[in-house]
Structure 1
């Protein structure tokens, strides 16, 4: 509700509130001062005169007692007459004070106590009159005692009246002091409340006015710095809110304008970059094509020379292929003979292995017989000792024969494996030689065909060389045009990038914080 108030209305409300607080403080102070004034008036107009009157009555009773004693102690009639005259004056003044006091009494308890005092005072005055009326030596001790007793009773009642009025006056003083303390506290609390309300009202006024203005200044600074990403929060309907709404509309309009300019600039920059890059690539490809055509022309010339040389070489190769076919056929026959020989070697090796097996068996049997002979010689004792020595030697020879037979068998076995492997290789060589003979025949036929084709290629390559020379001339002309187009596209790209950099200084909420960099074309 307060946010919708205008600033002038807020100022008027704040000033009115402060004025109302001032009036309230003045009214409170006036009321408290009225309370204290009433208490002071009560003390000044009632209790002080009452206390003074009672004190005067008390003084009068004391003076009468003194004058009574002076009258008793007087030595002549003249002194007694003076004392009687003074006593009459004191009694008249005291009666007047009693009348004044009686008029001020407003409570039943005090009135009853005053009545008791007047009765006691009357009794004392009667005794006092008897003492003053007696002649010299006419005052008895009993009369003195009765006068003292009556005076003490009246004095005691008077003291009670004095205490009653003293307590009442002190209570009124305490009431006045309490009223003053209450007034001081009330005024202090009122001042604090007024200060608090004034501070809160001032703070509210400062915030309600200063915060929107500060927000407006910050928004203007941010927009001036090119930052359109911030959100302008607007509350209320006052002048500051209207200013913020205007700034928000201005920011939105500027953001749309800058966004449109940025997108168009980026589109132009991208298109110009692509054009420049395309022209640069086209220029490079054109130059490469021209260079390739030049190389192709030179290569075609070399190829023509090479083809002619190949034709001569093909004819020579055809002759060599025929000779190779004859040599391969002769080699095939030789390999066949080698295969037959290897088969014979393999069969002989297998027979040698069988013979070595027989020798190994004989050596084993000889070893067994020598062992049996050694056993029998051991049984014969000393007579068979010489036979045992012979049996031992025979056994040793049999073992060496068996060991040699095993070694020979191992060597023969290895040779047989190598011979078998050689036979396999020779078989493969035979088949390979047969294939070589067939291949050489086919190669001879192919070389003849290549010779005829090479002659035809020489004629075609000569025609291709002429066409490549014409393409090279056209490509050189295209390269010159592409270089001019690339220079124009590069100039357009530079201007578009300058525009993009100028617009990139603005930050928009819909785009990244920083404008994307424009792609640079690849270096030539």
Structure 2
């Protein structure tokens, strides 16, 4: 397309629109990249961080079951042994539940293969535990002794407390990771909204400037064209008003100067023709 076939106003506005669209495209590209980073951050939290926390907590619950097994073996009464076996079952069930939740966070083949290996080891471990529980059910509680009393009253409580504190620490780290992920998401959403607003403002301002600047150029040009047409038709009575110092103002002043000079030339020609007519009339009267 030959741009000379288009009006200046169309070319100017079109150029501003193109520039505004390029800016909008860059802004949208930045928003897309920001969204990609935000999604990656969310995925990192939901899959890796939460999954890791669930696996750690599942291991803690498994250790709780191991501690329950120790207590069941060292129990000196049927009641304490039954309570220890309940803790074993609770730890096993909770550990299985947490591992199932962690497995849902992993969708890649490598992680699934790792979970499959854990399942195999888990089955062997639980089969061995079931055998121990059967043996315990067929045996009598142990006789109490100072060593067992020390284990029960002195060693066990701090160990249980450490396990509880580690669970709380894991949960605290998970909550902190959740807060960071939420803060990143909020930052992305705020940045996205600001950039969208700036894109809209940029497009509107760009188009508006294109219209304003094109009018500031084309209106004086239209006046110049109209004046040139009037002058070509012999109308020299309409003066041109030029404002500003840009090229269109210079053009209007040049046209006004040309119009003024043409007025003077026409005036002199008219005056000369009148003088010739008057002289001719006088000569004609003298010949009579």
Please classify the TM superposition score into its range, dividing by the shorter chain length.
0.5 to 0.7
- What are the ranges of 5 or more consecutive residues in structure 1 without an aligned counterpart? 1-5, 101-128, 276-484, 486-524
Change (3 A) 1:160 1:39: same
Aligned position for 1:143:
151
CA distance in 1, matches of 2:98, 2:239: 101
User: CA, structure 1 residues 218+135, in 2 after alignment: closer, same or farther (shift >3 Å)?
Assistant: farther
Give the match for residue 86 of structure 1. Answer: 89
1:289-300 to 2 correspondences below 5 Å:
none
Matched-pair contact (CA < 8 Å) for 1:72–1:136? yes
Q: Which residue of 1 is the match for residue 4 of structure 2?
A: none
Residue number in structure 1 paired with 2:41 = 39
2:207 matched to which residue of 1? 198
In the aligned structure 1, how far is the partner of 2:98 from the partner of 2:179? 27
Q: Which of 167, 173, 180 pairs up with 2:176?
A: 167
Number of paired residues?
A: 234
Q: How far did 1:261 drift? A: 5.2
Structure 1 equivalent of residue 113 of structure 2: none
Q: What SS class does the counterpart of residue 176 from structure 1 fall into?
A: helix
CA distance in 2, matches of 1:72, 1:96: 33
Is the CA contact 1:25–1:187 (under 8 Å) kept in the aligned structure 2?
yes
2:73 matches 1:49: no
Equivalent position of 1:260 in the other structure: 268
Higher relative CO (Cα under 8 Å, sequence separation at least 6) belongs to: 2
Match of 2:3 in 1: none
Aligned 1:218-367 pairs, distance under 5 A? 227=237, 229-230=239-240, 251=259, 255=263, 258-260=266-268, 262-264=270-272, 267=275
5+ residue gaps, structure 2: 1-6, 104-132
Deviation of 1:179 (Å)? 3.1
Change in CA separation of 1:251 and 1:84 when aligned onto 2, cut-off 3 Å? closer
Deviations along 1:86-115, whole A, 9 cap, x unmatched?
268349749969x99xxxxxxxxxxxxxxx
Aligned to 1:158: 167
Residue 18 of structure 2 is matched in structure 1 by 16
Q: Please say which structure displays the higher CA radius of gyration.
A: 1
How far the C-alpha of 1:152 sits from its partner, in A, is 0.3
Shift of 1:173: 2.7
- Kept in 1, the 8 Å contact 2:13–2:214? The answer is yes
Query: How far 1:172 sits from its partner (Å)?
Result: 3.2
Q: Is the 8 A contact 1:61 1:155 kept in 2?
A: no
Q: Tell me, in whole angstroms, the C-alpha distance in 2 between the residues paired with 1:219 and 1:17.
A: 34
Report the alpha carbon displacement of residue 83 of structure 1 after superposing the two structures with TM.
3.8
Give the RMSD, CA atoms, in angstroms. Answer: 5.4
> CA contact under 8 A between 2:76 and 2:142: conserved in structure 1?
yes
**TM-score normalised by the chain length of structure 2:** 0.55
Matched-pair contact (CA < 8 Å) for 1:58–1:158: yes
Q: Are 2:169 and 1:177 aligned? A: no
Give the distance between the partners of 2:159 and 2:209, measured in 1 at CA: 73
Cα 1:196–1:185 change in 2 (3 A) is same
The answer on whether the counterparts of 1:36 and 1:179 sit within 8 Å (CA) in structure 2 is: yes
CA distance in 1, matches of 2:84, 2:152: 19
1:40 Cα deviation from its structure 2 partner: 1.7
Q: Secondary structure at the match of 2:198?
A: helix
Task: Tell me how far 1:177 sits from its aligned partner.
Answer: 2.2
For 2:29, which of 27, 30, 34 is the aligned residue? Answer: 27
CA shift in 2, pair 1:83/1:57, >3 Å: same
Shift in Å at residue 150 of structure 1? 0.7
Structure 2 partner of 1:352? none
TM-score (normalizing by structure 1)? 0.34
249-258 vs 49-58, greater mean Cα deviation: 249-258
* Contact kept in structure 2, 1:47 and 1:165, CA below 8 Å: yes
